[in-house]
Amino acid sequence: MSRAVAHVELYTDGACSGNPGPGGWAFILKHPESGKQMEEAGAEALTTNNRMELMAVIRGLSALKSSSEVDLYSDSQYVLNGLKEWMASWKKRGWRTADKKPVKNIDLWQELDALQARHTLRFHWIRGHNEHPENERCDQLAVAAREAIVTKQ
């Protein structure tokens, strides 16, 4: 008997002070059927906002123990367009853009590519800082993680 695939909701956000500068990422993972939820956040001393947006999705997908149907909610067009539209073309061109330049953040995109292969993703763009509860919470967590690393320096 095959086991049913879990359905989860993944909310993500990244934050950076300066670009590059100190940055934070966060995710909220919800399992609607059971009502379970987990939050996680982290930070890097010198990074970019795009890297933090990618890291939030990577860490969220990495937290899943088995293949899942994932509704991914993000305010990052960079992340969502990359996953939905750009990545397949980059791979066909050997991880190069249309103008033959190496893809920026290739290490994170390749990690995300491997994670995406394990799951079924559906993409949802949400406007940032627009009173969406999970997006606001992710932003708070990412900013707090970033601030914690800044105060340590």
Catalytic residue among 53, 82, 119, 134: 53
CATH of 6-152, one of 1.10.3720.10, 3.30.420.10, 3.40.50.700, 3.40.50.1100: 3.30.420.10
Active site residue 107: no
Active site residue 139: yes
70: which residues sit within 8 A by CB, 6+ positions away?
Answer: 7, 8, 9, 10, 61, 64, 119, 120, 121, 122
CB-based burial of residue 72 (10 Å sphere; 0-12 exposed, 13-18 middle, 19+ buried)?
A: buried
Please, are residues 110 and 59 in contact by the beta-carbon 8 Å criterion?
no
Looking at residue 1, its pLDDT comes to 43
Say yes or no to pLDDT of 131 above 90: no
Catalytic residue among 9, 44, 134, 139: 139
Label residues 23-53 b or e (16+ Cβ within 10 Å = b). Answer: bbbbbbbbeeeeeeeeebbbbbeebbbbbbb
24-38 pLDDT, tens digit per residue, is 999 999 999 999 999
pTM higher than 0.85? yes
What are the domain boundaries of the chain?
6-152
Catalytic residue among 9, 13, 44, 134: 13
Catalytic residue among 75, 82, 119, 134: 75
Mean pLDDT on 85-107: 96
Active site residue 99: no
Distance, CA of 129 to CA of 144 (rounded, Å): 16
Distance, CA of 51 to CA of 111 (rounded, Å): 12
Active site residue 75: yes
5-14 pLDDT, tens digit per residue, is 799 999 999 9
Mean pLDDT on 88-106: 96
For the chain, give the mean pLDDT.
Answer: 94
